[in-house]
């Protein structure tokens, strides 16, 4: 039997004046090797944006992390972007409506880092553009000028609750941290299921009747095969995707 398909929207990358659609291979590898599904990258751009075509073939969706940020206008923030170059409006145009469709159609969706922030914005929540400047919040950015393994290394504990706690079987885990934006106001359909020491929301789930609508602020895809919590989350995502594939997609 062929593996079920997980759509992964791309990021916009401009290299030497040429625009590329790209996704870090670690996301696709975690989908393939841990969730045991077939990753399929979705390019960006108006001429390639056919939501119906994507939903026709998707058994699940993974929204990856990225160096770009959701545009603040999309969550009603009355201030300019902190960095005009750290935006990807073509990705916004795909991922936000895709998240809403996944919720409505009960299509399994797993969101990571930027993707975590995207689902909150898509469903009516807001973000802080710079968490480390907010009173009472810690600095959640990664260390600079260190090797990649150190950037993705353990950073701080998060306290677990609800479904996530029952999946992993622990009250607390230690996660990596590579973000400088975070949830300010949680979208109404979402429930927080992990918090950092400073109270910042680190994981959310959708309505209980949804087969899998889940997001985390950290990067479980990094060396996913070697991390107990990552294995548990990706395998449950894969199980939900396979169930959709075997029972037929919602419309």
- Taking every pair of Cα atoms in the chain, the longest distance, rounded to a whole number of angstroms, is 53
CA 206 to each of CA 2, 24, 143, 186: distance values in angstroms, whole numbers, following the listed order: 28, 25, 31, 11
β-pairing verdict for 60-63 and 38-42: unpaired
Contacts of 37 (CB under 8 A, 6+ apart): 3, 4, 5, 6, 31, 59, 60, 238, 241, 242
Query: Is 210 one of the annotated active-site residues of the chain?
Result: no
Q: What is the DSSP string of 85-123?
A: TSB-HHHHHHHHHHHHHHHHHT--EEEETHHHHHHHHHT
- State the catalytic residue, choosing from 113, 140, 142, 179: 113
Q: Which helix (H) or strand (E) holds 235?
A: helix 228-247
Query: Is 221 one of the annotated active-site residues of the chain?
Result: yes
- State the catalytic residue, choosing from 101, 118, 202, 221: 221
DSSP 8-state assignment for residue 16:
T
**Residues assigned a catalytic role:** 113, 219, 221
């Amino acid at each position: 039997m062929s593996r079920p398909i997980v759509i992964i929207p791309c990021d916009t990358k401009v290299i030497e004046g040429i625009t590329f659609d790209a996704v870090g291979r670690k996301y696709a590898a975690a989908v393939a090797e841990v969730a045991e599904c077939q990753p399929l990258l979705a390019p960006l751009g108006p001429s390639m944006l056919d939501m119906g075509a994507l939903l026709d073939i998707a058994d699940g969706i993974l929204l990856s992390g990225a160096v770009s940020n959701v545009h603040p206008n999309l969550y009603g923030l009355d201030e300019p972007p902190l960095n005009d170059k750290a935006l990807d409006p073509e990705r916004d145009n795909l991922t936000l409506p895709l998240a809403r469709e996944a919720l409505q159609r009960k299509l399994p969706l797993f969101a990571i880092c930027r993707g975590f922030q995207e689902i909150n914005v898509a469903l009516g929540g807001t973000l802080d553009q710079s968490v480390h400047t907010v009173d009472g919040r810690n600095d959640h950015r990664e260390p600079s000028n260190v090797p990649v393994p150190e950037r993705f290394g353990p950073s701080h504990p998060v306290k677990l609750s609800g479904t996530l706690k029952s999946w992993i079987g622990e009250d607390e885990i230690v996660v990596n941290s590579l973000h400088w934006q975070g949830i300010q106001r949680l979208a109404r359909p979402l429930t927080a299921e992990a918090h950092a020491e400073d109270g910042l929301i680190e994981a959310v789930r959708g309505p209980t009747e949804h087969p899998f609508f889940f997001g985390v602020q950290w990067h479980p895809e990094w060396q996913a095969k070697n991390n107990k919590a990552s294995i548990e989350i990706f395998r449950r995502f894969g199980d939900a995707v396979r169930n959709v594939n075997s029972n037929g997609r919602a419309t």
